Protein backbone atom coordinates (compact mmCIF):
# COMPACT_ATOMS: atom_id res chain seq x y z
CA UNK A 1 0.00 0.00 0.00
CA UNK A 2 1.25 3.44 -0.91
CA UNK A 3 2.12 5.97 1.78
CA UNK A 4 1.06 9.47 0.64
CA UNK A 5 3.21 11.05 3.37
CA UNK A 6 6.26 9.48 1.68
CA UNK A 7 5.13 10.76 -1.74
CA UNK A 8 3.99 7.30 -2.86
CA UNK A 9 1.16 6.49 -5.29
CA UNK A 10 -0.36 3.10 -6.10
CA UNK A 11 -0.90 1.87 -9.64
CA UNK A 12 -1.96 -1.60 -10.77
CA UNK A 13 0.10 -3.02 -13.63
CA UNK A 14 -0.90 -6.35 -15.19
CA UNK A 15 -3.09 -7.08 -12.18
CA UNK A 16 -0.34 -6.45 -9.62
CA UNK A 17 -0.54 -3.40 -7.33
CA UNK A 18 2.71 -1.44 -7.49
CA UNK A 19 4.04 1.52 -5.53
CA UNK A 20 5.46 4.53 -7.35
CA UNK A 21 7.78 7.07 -5.75
CA UNK A 22 9.96 9.78 -7.24
CA UNK A 23 13.29 9.39 -5.48
CA UNK A 24 16.14 11.76 -6.27
CA UNK A 25 17.59 9.15 -8.63
CA UNK A 26 14.22 8.64 -10.32
CA UNK A 27 13.87 12.41 -10.76
CA UNK A 28 17.32 12.60 -12.33
CA UNK A 29 16.40 9.78 -14.74
CA UNK A 30 13.16 11.57 -15.57
CA UNK A 31 14.93 14.85 -16.35
CA UNK A 32 17.44 13.04 -18.55
CA UNK A 33 14.77 11.09 -20.42
CA UNK A 34 12.64 14.15 -21.03
CA UNK A 35 15.72 16.26 -21.75
CA UNK A 36 14.50 18.88 -19.28
CA UNK A 37 16.66 21.35 -17.41
CA UNK A 38 14.15 21.44 -14.55
CA UNK A 39 10.90 19.76 -13.66
CA UNK A 40 9.08 23.08 -13.25
CA UNK A 41 7.85 23.02 -16.85
CA UNK A 42 6.59 19.47 -16.42
CA UNK A 43 4.72 20.41 -13.24
CA UNK A 44 3.21 23.43 -15.01
CA UNK A 45 2.05 21.31 -17.97
CA UNK A 46 0.36 18.82 -15.63
CA UNK A 47 -1.31 21.66 -13.74
CA UNK A 48 -2.71 22.99 -17.05
CA UNK A 49 -3.63 19.51 -18.33
CA UNK A 50 -1.25 20.07 -21.26
CA UNK A 51 0.98 17.02 -20.79
CA UNK A 52 1.84 14.37 -23.37
CA UNK A 53 1.45 10.61 -23.22
CA UNK A 54 5.26 10.43 -23.41
CA UNK A 55 5.47 12.47 -20.20
CA UNK A 56 2.87 10.25 -18.49
CA UNK A 57 4.83 7.14 -19.48
CA UNK A 58 8.14 8.66 -18.34
CA UNK A 59 6.66 9.61 -14.96
CA UNK A 60 5.19 6.15 -14.42
CA UNK A 61 8.43 4.40 -15.36
CA UNK A 62 10.46 6.72 -13.11
CA UNK A 63 7.96 6.28 -10.27
CA UNK A 64 7.92 2.50 -10.55
CA UNK A 65 11.70 2.41 -10.62
CA UNK A 66 11.81 4.73 -7.60
CA UNK A 67 9.36 2.37 -5.91
CA UNK A 68 11.76 -0.50 -6.42
CA UNK A 69 10.50 -2.20 -9.61
CA UNK A 70 13.24 -2.27 -12.26
CA UNK A 71 10.87 -1.86 -15.20
CA UNK A 72 11.75 -0.28 -18.55
CA UNK A 73 9.59 1.86 -20.81
CA UNK A 74 9.66 -0.92 -23.43
CA UNK A 75 8.28 -3.42 -20.89
CA UNK A 76 5.56 -1.01 -19.83
CA UNK A 77 4.44 -0.40 -23.43
CA UNK A 78 2.73 -3.80 -23.53
CA UNK A 79 1.55 -3.80 -19.91
CA UNK A 80 -2.04 -3.22 -18.83
CA UNK A 81 -2.46 -0.33 -16.42
CA UNK A 82 -5.74 -0.77 -14.59
CA UNK A 83 -8.03 2.11 -15.52
CA UNK A 84 -6.28 2.70 -18.85
CA UNK A 85 -4.78 5.97 -20.05
CA UNK A 86 -6.99 8.14 -17.86
CA UNK A 87 -5.90 6.33 -14.68
CA UNK A 88 -2.27 6.39 -15.84
CA UNK A 89 -2.45 10.17 -16.31
CA UNK A 90 -4.17 10.63 -12.93
CA UNK A 91 -1.56 8.47 -11.17
CA UNK A 92 1.29 10.34 -12.88
CA UNK A 93 -0.18 13.73 -11.92
CA UNK A 94 -0.72 12.58 -8.32
CA UNK A 95 2.84 11.24 -8.17
CA UNK A 96 4.24 14.53 -9.38
CA UNK A 97 2.11 16.54 -6.93
CA UNK A 98 2.98 14.33 -3.96
CA UNK A 99 6.67 14.54 -4.75
CA UNK A 100 6.68 18.29 -4.28
CA UNK A 101 4.08 18.86 -1.55
CA UNK A 102 2.76 17.41 1.69
CA UNK A 103 -0.55 15.54 1.49
CA UNK A 104 -3.56 17.38 2.87
Length of the chain: 104
d(C-alpha 61, C-alpha 92), whole Å:
10
| Domain, as residue range, for 51 | 4-99
- Of residues 87 and 40, the one with the higher pLDDT is 87
In a domain, 65, yes or no: yes
pLDDT of residue 69 exceeding 90 = yes
pLDDT of residue 103 exceeding 70 = no
- DSSP secondary structure of 11-76: EEETTEEEEE---HHHHHHHHHHHT-S-SHHHHHHHHHT---HHHHHHHHHHHHHHTT----HHHH
pLDDT of residue 104 exceeding 70 = no
d(C-alpha 19, C-alpha 45), whole Å:
23
DSSP 8-state secondary structure symbol assigned to residue 9: E
- pLDDT tens-place string over residues 1-48: 889 889 999 999 999 999 999 999 888 888 888 876 678 888 888 888
In a domain, 104, yes or no: no
Please give the average per-residue pLDDT across 50-71, as a whole number. Answer: 93
Number of structural domains the chain divides into: 1
Mean pLDDT of the chain: 90
In a domain, 46, yes or no: yes
Amino acid sequence: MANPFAGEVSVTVDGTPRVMKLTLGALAELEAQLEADTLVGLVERFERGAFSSREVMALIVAGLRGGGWRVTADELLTADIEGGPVEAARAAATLLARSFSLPS
